Amino acid sequence: MILVTQLGKVGALVQATIPPTIPVPEKPESPAGALPEPPVAISLTHLMGTAQDIESQTVTDIYVSQIATLVWCYMSGVRNPVVVGLALKRRPAPEIDGSGDADYRTKFIETMCLVVDGLVQLEGSQTTAM
């Protein structure tokens, strides 16, 4: 389970799975590299919590899909379902000129970098424990 929160609580719980016939995405060559693309066949099951609107639902699905893909990449091909707890601050109303979108993309990338950092640390601790 991966928990990402800006609010100090779990928020929505979503499980991500991929069918056994779909290959696990390749791990990026460096943690600072481009994010791996989530598999098209990813399946998301909302276990707890509901989005307040369709935009919030879409944002949740994007975050969960990317986080699950990172877990599959960094956990050496493990195909287990990934449960993500996600609680993000509501996005302010978009500016007419779209100027807030760059900030939103930056926050997404920063969040994914933090997830990768945690996975790299976990991967390192599993290697040293063997």
Q: Where are the domains of the chain?
A: 2-89+98-129
> Residue 31 belongs to what H/E stretch?
none
Compute CA 48 distance to the chain's CA centroid, rounded to the nearest angstrom.
Answer: 17
The larger pLDDT score, comparing residue 77 to residue 29, is at: 29
* pLDDT tens digits, 4-28: 888 888 888 999 999 999 888 888 7
Residue appearing with tokens 């379902």: 81
**CB within 8 A of 106, min separation 6: which ones?**
none
pLDDT at 17: 96
Q: Which of 6-15, 38-47, 51-60, 95-104 has the highest mean pLDDT?
A: 38-47
Using DSSP's 3-state secondary structure scheme, residue 86 falls into strand
CATH fold of 2-89+98-129 reads Ribosomal Protein S5; domain 2 (3.30.230)
- On the question of pLDDT at 98 being above 60, the answer is no
- pTM for this structure? 0.85
Strands (E) in 42-97, as ranges, are 43-48, 82-87
16 secondary structure, DSSP code: E
**Distance spanning both ends of the chain, measured CA to CA:** 22
CB atoms within 10 A of CB 42: 19
pLDDT at 69: 94
d(CA 77, CA 68): 12
> Residue 2 belongs to what H/E stretch?
strand 2-5
* pLDDT tens digits, 49-92: 877 788 888 999 999 999 999 999 888 767 899 999 998 887 66
